[in-house]
């Protein structure tokens, strides 16, 4: 309860809020755009400081209060299953498990052997996956341990106490009444500035001056957008930042990933040509710096895509390309299969790991539930978007390594850095059905157990764990949804 | 968005399910949350498509049969009670349960009921016998295209020969139990639910 009394209201301080200090580059060449951004932001946001540690304190108090309230009424509080519903057996191969099932030592019989107990293995695995599987939970927002005063992440929404409701009401007032309008204004300013300034820069005759200015313009506009979202970003290992002539790959959680990365450096974006406002922005951006936009029909043509990317990286004056090889947004608890297209080009790959802190606002875009506009509104009415970006050391494809293995190596490095689960499943399973070939693999493995696997034992060691291998579908370079 | 688990599941219902299946309060609410996350149509029941959306289940050779086991005879939707009733078969057998009231009806997760669940995976027409055809069907599902018809047929014949004691060329439930008496069914057909 002490916590509550000390955090009774959000502290307003006269110092510059952390929102401004975090993402500033201190090099002298960036003084002008920094200064401009600062002026504009200062005009927009008065001395209002969102002190994050206070918010954490309040959210823990809120959860405690809900637990007490539930105990008073002799009810149990629903706790999200952050620790899992079931304890899964450590993964072992299909053959091992079936041998165990059969128990006896006569596995060397020459005749094919079937036991009725064999189905127990499949049965249990099947029901385990019904109760808790690795894939479907990656496509919806992560569940939080303590409530952060946003209705959208509340699982016990009922009237517990007046104080809690008042606090929640106050939260709503601040978020929708104060933060949202300011942020929307900033965002609109940022986009307009981007459109206007890039068009202006495109008119300059001198190519060098043009590229220099376009860099500054892009950086400034992205910084304004970052303020518009109140994104508090911590960049780690800046010395590994992607350089020209390479490809930057990152895990994909939301379209905002682009803004977060482009805030700290200039990238060439890859994607599908859109209509409407997005299309205008795309056309404006292309005027002053080179980006790779594909027509919808061209996306399917793998060779065309590979060629354009290859040409771009070959030109050392062009900025590094930003690609999200997962192809779709995942909820930031795991990294799913990387499509191998970007790894076939043969240039240096700069992996980047992005991890969002879900306590202040969940950044994941659930595209089957929310459209772009409602997603952006939700983003701008959260407390803040807090994330960490790690630049990993550049990687190259090694001798004797094919594109899929290289992609998996990069994926493992990103997952390890970001504290994410490394999955082999395809992010496309969000919408598509799993391919039959994986079931056929399972059937093949079982047949080997039945019929005996003396001649195939060596070959099978590789695929013995029974999990599906990477998907061989066509590359999708577009920033997926 | 998270599911509003506790608000939609009434206390009385949770108590009833607790009595019927033996799951604890927190396990029931967690499983309810899982149920609602699978229920894309948001109508309080699951259809076969909802199950097939789980990739790990879709690649399981016996996936369709397992999904079938959740649906009562002839129906296409399963509600939460039915879902829990089926999952209850996989609850581990606790020692203190064995010594409980012996006259009460057998708990859903007893050894016999676990074996009955497995038996029903084979016995599609529910005539309490696994015929040669039914056995062949399951074998075919498990091996795919990798074994020839003749070989599979001889495997099936051999299995029935070994299990069949009354000579009717099919396996009854009692014969099934006999064949599996040495197998640790309690452990192999149990899932460790966390509290």
Chain B positions touching A134 (Cβ under 8 A) are 56
The CB density around residue B145, as the number of other CB atoms within 10 Å, is 10
Q: Which of A76, A77, A155 sits opposite B4 (nearest CB)?
A: A155
- B95 vs A59: CA distance, rounded Å: 41
Confidence check: pLDDT of A209 > 60: yes
A74 contacts: CB under 8 Å, gap ≥ 6: none
Contact A133 B179 (CB under 8 A): no
Residue A113's closest CA among A444, A450, A453?
A450
Q: Which CATH architecture has domain B12-90?
A: Orthogonal Bundle (1.10)
Contact A157 B66 (CB under 8 A): no
Per-residue DSSP letters for A111-166?
A: S----TTHHHHHHHHHHHHHHS-SSGGGGSPPPPSS--S-GGG-SS-S---HHHHH
Name which of A48-62, A99-113, A171-185, B43-57 the model is least confident about.
A99-113
Name which of A129-143, A172-186, B96-110, B114-128 the model is least confident about.
B96-110
Residue A428's closest CA among A327, A334, A343?
A327
Contact A49, A12 (CB under 8 A): yes
Per-residue DSSP letters for A362-419?
A: -----TTT--HHHHHHHHHTSS-EEEEEEEPPPB-PPTT--HHHHHHHHHHHHHHHHT
A85 at the B interface (CB within 8 A)?
A: yes
Whole-number pLDDT of residue A153: 63
Q: Tell me the Ramachandran region of residue A382: left when phi exceeds 0, alpha when psi lies from -120 to 50, beta otherwise.
A: beta
Q: Which of A76, A134, A433 sits opposite B58 (nearest CB)?
A: A433
Could you tell me the residue ranges of all domains in chain B? Answer: 12-90, 106-188
Percent of chain A with pLDDT over 90: 14
A122 at the B interface (CB within 8 A)?
A: yes
Contact A123 B118 (CB under 8 A): yes
Which residue in this structure is represented by tokens 């390309």? A321
Contact B191 A124 (CB under 8 A): yes
Give the three-state DSSP class for A261: helix
Chain A positions touching B185 (Cβ under 8 A) are 120
Q: Which of A79, A103, A123 sits opposite B66 (nearest CB)?
A: A123
A9 confidence band (pLDDT: 50, 70, 90): very low
* A247: enclosing H helix or E strand: strand A247-250
- A17 vs A55: CA distance, rounded Å: 14
A446 contacts: CB under 8 Å, gap ≥ 6: A94, A98, A118, B61, B142, B143
Contact B2 A153 (CB under 8 A): yes
A51 confidence band (pLDDT: 50, 70, 90): low
Give the three-state DSSP class for A209: helix
Q: Do domains B12-90 and B106-188 have the same CATH topology?
A: yes
| Strand-pair category, A349-357 with A385-391 | antiparallel
Top residue of B4, B49, B54 to mutate, by most chain A CBs within 10 Å, is B54
**What ipTM is given for this predicted complex?**
0.90
Whole-number pLDDT of residue A154: 61
Q: Which residues pair with A293 in a beta bridge?
A: A271
Contact B67, B57 (CB under 8 A): yes
B10 at the A interface (CB within 8 A)?
A: no
Write the pLDDT tens digit of every residue in A302-317. Answer: 788 888 888 888 888 8
The CB density around residue B133, as the number of other CB atoms within 10 Å, is 11
The CB density around residue A433, as the number of other CB atoms within 10 Å, is 12
Q: Which of B34, B155, B182 sits opposite A103 (nearest CB)?
A: B182
Cα angle A393-A329-A286, degrees, rounded to a multiple of 5: 75
Contact A136 B11 (CB under 8 A): no
Contact A120 B52 (CB under 8 A): no
- A332 vs A388: CA distance, rounded Å: 12
Write the pLDDT tens digit of every residue in A22-42. Answer: 333 334 445 555 555 555 555
Give the gyration radius of chain A's Cα atoms.
26
- A356 vs A386: CA distance, rounded Å: 6
Q: Looking at residues A130-138, what average pLDDT do you find?
A: 88
Confidence check: pLDDT of A48 > 50: no
Query: 94-113 in B: which are within 8 Å (CB) of A?
Result: none
Cα angle A195-A197-A199, degrees, rounded to a multiple of 5: 70
Contact A434 B6 (CB under 8 A): no
List helix spans (H) across A203-324. Answer: 207-229, 256-262, 276-288, 302-314
Whole-number pLDDT of residue B86: 92
Query: 402-431 in A: which are within 8 Å (CB) of B?
Result: 425, 429
- A332 vs A362: CA distance, rounded Å: 10
- B139 vs A399: CA distance, rounded Å: 43
Both tokens of A116, joined, read 């009725």
Superfamily of chain region B106-188? EF-hand (1.10.238.10)
Q: Looking at residues A240-266, what average pLDDT do you find?
A: 90
Write the pLDDT tens digit of every residue in B163-195. Answer: 888 888 888 899 988 888 888 888 888 888 887
């Amino acid at each position: 309860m002490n916590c509550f009394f000390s955090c009774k209201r959000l502290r307003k301080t006269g110092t510059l809020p952390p929102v401004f200090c975090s993402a500033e580059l201190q090099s002298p060449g960036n003084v002008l755009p920094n200064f401009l951004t600062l002026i504009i932001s200062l005009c927009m946001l008065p001395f209002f400081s969102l002190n994050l540690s206070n918010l954490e304190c309040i959210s823990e108090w809120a959860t405690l209060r809900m637990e007490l309230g539930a105990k008073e009424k002799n009810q149990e509080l629903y706790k999200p299953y952050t620790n899992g519903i079931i304890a899964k057996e450590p993964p072992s191969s299909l053959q091992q498990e079936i041998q165990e099932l059969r128990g006896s030592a006569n596995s060397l019989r020459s005749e094919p052997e079937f036991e009725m107990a064999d189905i127990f293995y499949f049965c249990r695995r099947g029901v385990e996956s019904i109760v808790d599987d690795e894939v479907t939970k990656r496509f919806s927002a992560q569940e939080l341990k303590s409530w952060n005063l946003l209705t959208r992440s509340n699982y016990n929404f009922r009237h517990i106490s007046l104080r809690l409701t008042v606090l929640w009401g106050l939260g709503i007032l601040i978020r929708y009444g104060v933060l949202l309008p300011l942020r929307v204004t900033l965002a609109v300013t940022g986009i307009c500035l981007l459109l206007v300034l890039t068009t202006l820069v495109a008119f300059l005759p001198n190519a060098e001056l043009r590229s220099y200015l376009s860099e500054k313009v892009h950086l400034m506009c992205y910084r304004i957008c970052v303020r518009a979202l109140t994104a508090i970003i911590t960049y780690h290992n800046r010395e590994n930042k992607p350089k020209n002539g390479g490809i930057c790959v990152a895990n994909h959680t939301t379209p905002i990933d682009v803004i977060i990365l482009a805030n700290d450096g200039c990238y060439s974006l890859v994607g599908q040509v859109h209509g409407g406002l997005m299309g205008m922005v795309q056309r404006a951006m292309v005027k002053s710096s080179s980006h790779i936009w594909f027509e919808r029909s061209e996306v399917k043509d793998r060779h065309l895509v590979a060629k354009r990317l290859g040409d771009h990286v070959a030109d050392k004056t062009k900025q590094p390309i930003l690609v999200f090889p997962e192809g779709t947004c995942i909820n930031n608890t795991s990294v799913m299969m990387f499509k191998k297209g970007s790894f076939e080009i043969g240039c240096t790959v700069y992996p980047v790991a992005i991890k969002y802190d879900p306590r202040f606002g969940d950044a994941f875009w659930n595209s089957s539930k929310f459209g772009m506009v409602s997603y952006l509104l939700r983003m701008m009415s959260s407390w803040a978007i807090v994330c960490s970006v790690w630049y990993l050391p550049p990687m190259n494809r090694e001798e004797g390594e094919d594109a899929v293995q290289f992609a998996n190596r990069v994926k493992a490095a990103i997952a390890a850095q970001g504290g994410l689960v490394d999955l082999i499943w395809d992010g496309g399973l969000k919408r598509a059905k799993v391919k039959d070939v994986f079931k056929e693999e399972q059937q093949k493995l079982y047949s080997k157990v039945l019929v005996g696997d003396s001649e195939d034992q060596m070959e099978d060691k590789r695929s013995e764990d029974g999990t599906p291998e990477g998907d061989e579908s066509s590359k999708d370079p577009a920033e997926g949804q | 968005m998270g599911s509003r688990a506790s608000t939609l599941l009434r206390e009385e219902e949770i108590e009833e399910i607790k009595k019927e299946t033996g799951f604890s309060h927190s396990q029931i609410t967690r499983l309810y949350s899982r149920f609602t996350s699978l229920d894309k149509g948001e109508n309080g029941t699951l259809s076969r498509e909802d199950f097939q959306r789980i990739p790990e289940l879709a690649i399981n050779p016996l996936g369709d049969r397992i999904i079938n086991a959740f649906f009562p005879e002839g129906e296409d939707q399963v509600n939460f009670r039915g879902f829990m009733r089926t999952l209850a078969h996989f609850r581990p057998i606790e020692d203190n349960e064995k010594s409980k009231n012996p006259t009460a009806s057998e708990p859903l997760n007893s050894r016999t009921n676990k074996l009955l669940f497995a038996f029903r995976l084979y016995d599609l027409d529910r005539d309490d016998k696994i015929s040669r055809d039914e056995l062949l069907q399951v074998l075919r599902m498990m091996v795919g295209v990798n074994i020839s018809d003749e070989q599979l047929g001889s495997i099936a014949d051999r299995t029935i020969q070994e299990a069949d004691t009354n000579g009717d060329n099919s396996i009854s439930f009692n014969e099934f139990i006999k064949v599996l008496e040495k197998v640790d069914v309690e452990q192999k057909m149990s899932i460790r639910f966390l509290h």
